Structure 1
Amino acid sequence: MGASEAEASAAAEELRRGFQTLEVIQKDPAVPVYHIYLNTAARHNALTVPFFSDLPRALSLLSVLPSARTVVLAARGSHFCSGIDFSVLRSLSPSLPSADPATSADFLRGRILSFQAAVSAIEHCRKPVIAAIHGACVGGGVDLAAACDIRCCSDDAFFEVKEVDLALAADLGSLQRLPHIIGYGNAVDISLTGRRVSAVEAKAMGLISTVFSSPVALEVGVDRLAKELAEKSSVAVAGTKAVLLRSRDEKVDVGLDYVATWNSIMLMSPDLEEAAAARIQKRKPNFSKL
């Protein structure tokens, strides 16, 4: 069900108020594509505590905005993301509520779960999210990329799952998502070694769909892809995304039941008839808004 005009207007107004760690813009009012830029370039877009509130809020607003049919996750500055800022880790220890290890562990688990939920908000967004990666994509940056639906990069990009070198296990989703994206063996390799993976190797692994020759070419290419997705049926795109995620996480029979539920909606959508008519008339379809 689409958002009401009042909900869409409220979402647009809140987006205009801005974010502490993000820049959210629609480059062209005529193109229903929004860009979320990680916007702490001085820190190489390291993920700070405010980021974990900003990102899910931005995605939630875009989910109900009819003028947002595709979302691009990109970054300002020289690098996509240098990982978790150490201020996040330092902020946890002083705030432990008790000397009791069990109580402290429970508190930390709650904080980790809240950070995980912020990254998972990318998957939960009803709109497709394309990652446009340049420069470093390290640690938490890989978590963000892995949660996106499509990943593209420039040829200067590199990827590192570095948590093992910080005496940690990556806990924001890389270890759960990467095996499905690049295969178990590749995921074990890069997660245990923490080694640098080039753009070319990332493409060979399947982590990246397309490698562009420069950050400028990346921006142009991803904008073109985002516009192409935005021209498709919003209901079909949202349903396809939801079914793929459910099928990844569930057994085949449960996945088939889930896709039946989604298609029972899609088959009643006027978008189906419009798609057929547009194909016959050799024109672009005019799909309804979600």
Structure 2
Amino acid sequence: MHTLTKLFVNKCNISGLIRCVSSLPKYETLTVTVPKKNVYHVELSRPDKLNTVNKPMWGDLKKCFTALHHEPECRVIILSGQGKLFTAGIDLKSLIEYFSVANEIEDIGRRGRFLYTYIKECQESISALEECTKPVMSVVHGPCIGAGIDLITAADMRYCTEDAWFQVKEVAVGLAADVGTLQRLPKVIGSASTARELCFTARKFYAKEALEIGLVSKVFPDKESAMSHVMATAEQIASMSPVAVQATKQNIIFSQNKSNAEGLEHVALINMVNHQSEDLAKSAIAMASKGEKPEFEDY
């Protein structure tokens, strides 16, 4: 039985690097740890079910990333999967149960409302990664299918292992992907043509192609080396001003679908407050004096 947040309790007293996070909600399908100071690791933890996304996991994802959004000590999030793969996509048993309940509703209007509500809840679970102001770094090993593509395209950075492969599988099971892939994948890779081919054909594509089209930033020989690199990068990000990092994410996401003028106005409004933060003064003094990198308060 997976617990709320499995932490390395025996290391909790080592320089405060690993903190017990009892303030976080309980999760049935996720494991959350704090392996480094201000770095939180979220793992899909249904390895016996290939980390497939079932109804509890949809709920856990939203709760978890909403909680981390509000957690001051969290500055960076790493997302990965336990077991032999990242995720095999949506749990078909859960999906069948969902449609069975829908089909019991005789009135078409009420059945439609039920379906709409469920779809919106799933969308919100994926969007929680994007709405969380903390940078999310995803690490894929093995298959990343269907809902897995939704997850990683909502993350800020993506990395994978050489044995990773990807598939936008929805059309193969008679569905149009409806929780984020169709909206985010074209923007992530910067090619509407390639994104449409992948979504229309449901073909598998592998790590080399994922790197070539810009879906992932780097490919590693195995999960261990991938996690080592990502952890080091996460530590570097966590050492920066959380005010600056989180405002950077907010502005990048806001500007994706806006004109340059709208994006510039947005950052001006945010920075008229953030420029008054002590983080800016600390950083400027450290750079000018070539002194040690400053420590920043949680935010």
Distance in 1 separating the partners of 2:282 and 2:97: 53
More helix by share: 1
2:38 aligned residue: 32
Query: Which of 247, 262, 265 does residue 273 from structure 2 map onto?
Result: 265
1:93 aligned residue: 99
**3-state SS in 2 of match to 1:50:** helix
* C-alpha contact 1:18 1:24 (8 A) present in aligned 2: no
Q: State the one-letter code of the partner of 1:171.
A: D
Moved more, 146-155 or 86-95: 86-95
What aligned pairs does 1:50-69 form with structure 2 within 5 A after superposition?
50-69=56-75
Distance in 1 separating the partners of 2:122 and 2:85: 21
Q: State the one-letter code of the partner of 2:209.
A: E
Distance in 1 separating the partners of 2:95 and 2:260: 39
**3-state SS in 1 of match to 2:297:** coil
Moved more, 118-127 or 247-256: 247-256
Residue-pair matches, total: 277
* C-alpha contact 1:134 1:215 (8 A) present in aligned 2: yes
Offset from partner CA, 1:44-66 (integer Å, 9 cap, x none): 10001000111111112222222
2:188 aligned residue: 181
Q: State the one-letter code of the partner of 1:250.
A: K
Q: State the one-letter code of the partner of 2:127.
A: S
* C-alpha contact 1:38 1:74 (8 A) present in aligned 2: yes
Runs of 4+ in 1 over 4 A off after TM superposition: none
1:221 aligned residue: 229
**3-state SS in 2 of match to 1:27:** strand
**3-state SS in 2 of match to 1:13:** coil
Question: Is residue 2:167 matched to residue 1:148?
Answer: no
Question: Is residue 2:293 matched to residue 1:287?
Answer: no
Distance in 1 separating the partners of 2:51 and 2:73: 27
What aligned pairs does 1:107-146 form with structure 2 within 5 A after superposition?
107-146=114-153
Tell me the CA shift for residue 133 of structure 1: 0.8
Question: Is residue 2:247 matched to residue 1:239?
Answer: yes
Offset from partner CA, 1:136-178 (integer Å, 9 cap, x none): 1000000000000011111111110000100101111000001
Distance in 2 separating the partners of 1:42 and 1:115: 22
* C-alpha contact 1:12 1:61 (8 A) present in aligned 2: no
Query: Which of 167, 170, 173 does residue 174 from structure 2 map onto?
Result: 167
Distance in 2 separating the partners of 1:190 and 1:106: 30
Moved more, 82-91 or 165-174: 82-91
Tell me the CA shift for residue 211 of structure 1: 1.0
Distance in 1 separating the partners of 2:124 and 2:28: 19
Q: Which residues of structure 1 form unaligned runs of 5+?
A: 1-10
**3-state SS in 1 of match to 2:138:** strand
Offset from partner CA, 1:73-95 (integer Å, 9 cap, x none): 11100110110101231122232
Distance in 2 separating the partners of 1:46 and 1:57: 18
Identity across aligned pairs (percent)?
35
Distance in 1 separating the partners of 2:266 and 2:74: 25
1:252 aligned residue: 260
Q: Which residues of structure 2 form unaligned runs of 5+?
A: 1-19
1:7 aligned residue: none
